[in-house]
């Protein structure tokens, strides 16, 4: 579906335990991120520190261990699963004599690979330039330049050697252009609102199954793959459910510690999420990292001003957990959680029911405010404690 540059860089991953928890989950996520960017993971160096070293992030001994690992595996790239300061990155590259990138650069790189729409490309370029702006001083002169490597791909790469002034101008131009596109987007959205269509956005951690669900619901053929950030551009499709019309949008997935430059650059796209009537929060219920992922998604939602948009939790991948398809309702009778499998289609009908209810309430509500979608559902659906195969982890879900 998209061409992938055969970069085949041989990478060594570095994961330090700084006491934030979920170290194993963070590491397997980094592995998936690196593979999604086209690298082959040759080795992993792990360590533990109370706090990052100001000059090298890791300690001296650890840096030596990384150097030795690079030699043994003949690797040419080091990826830190942390945010490195420009100075730390520069010092590490000098010490290790190879390219060192951090988690932010890696994520930006994947975004550069995936961007397809005009707006998406502009957004990625803006994020890359903003990330580069602080790092511009170093240049790449102490390294052999390698076009197309991880962290150097995408529209931002051509600006690498441009001076700050030009870079500033480009950033300004991109912002203006994106603001224009944002206004057009808003106009389209208002027209939709007038037509009384319920707008529903799929949100969730990357790889949760949003695109798969989008496809089975709309048969649209959005790109779904076992890769992080397979989807970058927002795709919307109209959907007919019993209660009325729904516009369903599939969009970029979230990840913990989403780079701020990225959040800022994707403002317009994310705004679409924030202005939805209902969010379908898709969760990979089979993931060991599930609860942390839910939390990370809710955190990003709060950051982009979507913390108050009503959510229906979609407990996806029940084919892996062997949970039964079911719904859970709140005290007002609103469906708050649906157990289903986007892959096998089990429980999909229940989600359609939930959407039909929300669409019905949206159409019949007198004041179509942002929350009109599901908040009044209780009025005509009094607490029918329906088929809730309540799982033991219900308590961990607050939203």
The dihedral over CA atoms of 115, 2, 27, 63, expressed in degrees to the nearest 10, equals -80
With CB cut-offs between 5 and 8 Å by kind, which of ligand GTP, Mg ion, none does residue 212 bind? Answer: ligand GTP
In terms of CB distance, is 17 or 319 closer to ligand GTP?
319
- C-alpha 189/C-alpha 201 separation (Å) is 13
- C-alpha 398/C-alpha 388 separation (Å) is 17
Measured from each CB, the residue nearest to ligand GTP is 253
Q: Which of 209, 259, 310, 325 binds ligand GTP (CB under 6 A)?
A: 209
**Which of the stretches 37-45, 152-160, 182-190, 314-322 binds ligand GTP when contact is defined by CB under 6 A?**
314-322
With CB cut-offs between 5 and 8 Å by kind, which of Mg ion, ligand GTP, none does residue 226 bind? Answer: ligand GTP
Q: Which of 79, 203, 208, 280 binds ligand GTP (CB under 6 A)?
A: 208
Residue 316 annotated as binding site: yes
- C-alpha 247/C-alpha 235 separation (Å) is 10
User: What x-and-dash track marks residues 173-212 binding Mg ion by CB under 5 A?
Assistant: -------------------------------------xx-
Residue 230 annotated as binding site: yes
Strand order in the sheet with 244-250: 235-241, 244-250, 198-204, 278-284, 311-316, 335-339, 326-329
Cα 200 to chain centroid, rounded: 17
- C-alpha 262/C-alpha 258 separation (Å) is 7
Q: Which of 210, 256, 290, 352 binds ligand GTP (CB under 6 A)?
A: 210
Tell me: does residue 234 bind ligand GTP (CB under 6 A): no
Give least dist CB 92 to ligand GTP, A: 29
Largest CA distance in the chain: 69
In terms of CB distance, is 230 or 350 closer to Mg ion?
230
Tell me: does residue 311 bind ligand GTP (CB under 6 A): no
Tell me: does residue 231 bind Mg ion (CB under 5 A): yes
Tell me: does residue 201 bind ligand GTP (CB under 6 A): no
Give yes or no for a contact between 231 and 211, defined as CB atoms under 8 angstroms apart. Answer: yes
Q: Which of 89, 128, 212, 269 binds ligand GTP (CB under 6 A)?
A: 212
Question: Which residues bind to Mg ion, rule: CB under 5 A?
Answer: 210-211, 230-231
Question: Which residues bind to ligand GTP, rule: CB under 6 A?
Answer: 204, 206-212, 224-226, 228-231, 253, 316-317, 319-320, 341-343
């Amino acid at each position: 579906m998209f061409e992938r540059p055969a970069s085949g860089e041989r990478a060594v991953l570095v994961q330090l335990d700084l006491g934030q928890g979920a170290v194993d989950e963070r590491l397997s996520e980094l592995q998936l991120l690196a593979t999604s960017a086209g690298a082959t993971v040759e080795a992993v160096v792990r360590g533990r520190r109370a706090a990052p070293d100001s000059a090298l992030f890791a300690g001296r001994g650890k840096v030596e261990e990384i150097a030795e690992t690079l030699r043994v595996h003949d690797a040419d790239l080091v990826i830190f699963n942390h945010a490195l300061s420009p100075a730390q990155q520069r010092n590490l590259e000098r010490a290790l004599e190879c390219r060192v990138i951090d988690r932010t650069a890696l994520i930006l790189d994947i975004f550069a690979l995936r961007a397809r729409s005009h707006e998406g490309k502009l957004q990625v370029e803006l994020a890359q330039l903003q990330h580069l702006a602080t790092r511009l001083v170093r240049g790449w002169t102490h390294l052999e330049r390698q076009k197309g490597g991880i962290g150097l791909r995408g529209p931002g790469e051509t600006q690498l050697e441009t001076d700050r002034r030009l870079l500033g101008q480009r950033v300004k131009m991109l912002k203006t252009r994106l603001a224009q596109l944002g206004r057009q987007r808003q106009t389209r959205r208002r027209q939709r609102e007038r037509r009384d269509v319920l707008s529903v956005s799929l949100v969730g951690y990357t790889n949760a199954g949003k695109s798969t669900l989008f496809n089975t619901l709309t048969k649209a053929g959005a790109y779904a793959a076992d890769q992080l950030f397979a989807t970058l551009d927002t795709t919307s499709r109209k959907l007919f459910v019993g209660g009325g019309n729904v516009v369903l949008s599939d969009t970029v997935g979230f990840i913990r510690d989403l780079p701020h430059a990225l959040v800022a650059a994707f403002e317009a796209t994310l705004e679409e999420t924030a202005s939805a009537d209902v969010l379908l929060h898709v969760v990979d219920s089979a993931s060991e990292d599930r609860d942390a992922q839910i939390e990370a998604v809710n955190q990003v939602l709060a950051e982009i001003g979507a913390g108050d948009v009503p959510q229906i939790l979609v407990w996806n991948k029940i084919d892996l957990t062997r949970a039964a398809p079911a719904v859970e309702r709140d005290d007002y009778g609103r469906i708050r959680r649906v157990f289903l499998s986007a892959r096998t289609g089990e429980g999909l009908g229940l989600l359609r029911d939930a959407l039909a209810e929300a669409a019905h309430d949206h159409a019949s509500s007198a004041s179509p405010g942002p929350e009109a979608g599901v908040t009044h559902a209780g009025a005509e659906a009094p607490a029918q404690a329906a088929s809730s195969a309540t799982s033991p982890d219900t308590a961990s879900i607050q939203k």
